[in-house]
């Protein structure tokens, strides 16, 4: 069998490293990792949002942060949730759908794969003037 070599179907954008304001567009399952299922927190980094780095963008750019789909104290998943104003409580569940549309600050850094550099989100921080949507904490 012959398998053609092709360009990937998805875009891997690159923007300058730094802190940006962004809106959470969606959260979706992406793969199985060494320690369980992984999810992608997909953000749309918006131009003209007041931050110096945002001003450099001409159009929105989508970037993701990958975490395990497990919310334990100190996990990356919990850190993202806490950036939206949530607090870790054993027995509660995170409703990621309720977080969609929320704003945050995201740290964008370069990573290298196969000799090419791409951008990824390495940390999510609160957008100080906005908090979590109350309905994001499910009983």
pLDDT, averaged per 10 consecutive residues of the chain (139 residues), comes to: 56 85 92 86 82 75 92 92 88 89 93 89 82 50
Task: From residue 10, give the alpha-carbon distance in Å to each of 7, 63, 72, 76, 111.
Answer: 9, 11, 31, 24, 17
The answer to whether residues 76 and 68 touch, using CB atoms and an 8 Å cutoff, is yes
Query: How much is the pLDDT for 31?
Result: 82
- Tell me if residue 68 falls in helix, strand or coil: strand
CA dihedral 14, 17, 21, 27 (to 10 degrees): 50
Q: Tell me, what DSSP letter sits at residue 59? A: S
- Residue 55 backbone phi and psi in degrees, to 5: -65, -25
The answer to whether residues 136 and 30 touch, using CB atoms and an 8 Å cutoff, is no
Query: How much is the pLDDT for 5?
Result: 58
Encoding tokens for residue 91?
Answer: 């027995």
Pick from 31, 104, 40: nearest CA to 66: 40
Alpha helices in 40-125 (DSSP H): 52-55, 76-83, 96-99
């Amino acid at each position: 069998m012959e398998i053609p070599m092709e360009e990937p179907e998805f875009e891997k954008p690159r923007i300058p490293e730094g802190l940006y304001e962004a809106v959470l567009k969606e959260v979706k399952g992406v793969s199985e990792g060494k320690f369980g299922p992984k999810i992608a927190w997909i953000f749309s980094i918006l131009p003209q949002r007041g931050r110096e780095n945002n001003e450099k963008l001409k159009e929105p750019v989508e970037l993701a942060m990958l975490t395990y789909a497990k919310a334990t104290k100190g996990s990356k998943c919990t850190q993202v949730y806490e950036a939206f104003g949530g607090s870790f409580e054993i027995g509660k569940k995170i409703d990621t759908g309720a977080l969609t549309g929320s704003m945050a600050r995201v740290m964008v850094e370069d990573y290298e794969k196969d000799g090419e550099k791409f951008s990824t989100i390495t940390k999510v921080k609160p957008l100080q003037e906005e908090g979590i949507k109350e309905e994001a904490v499910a009983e």
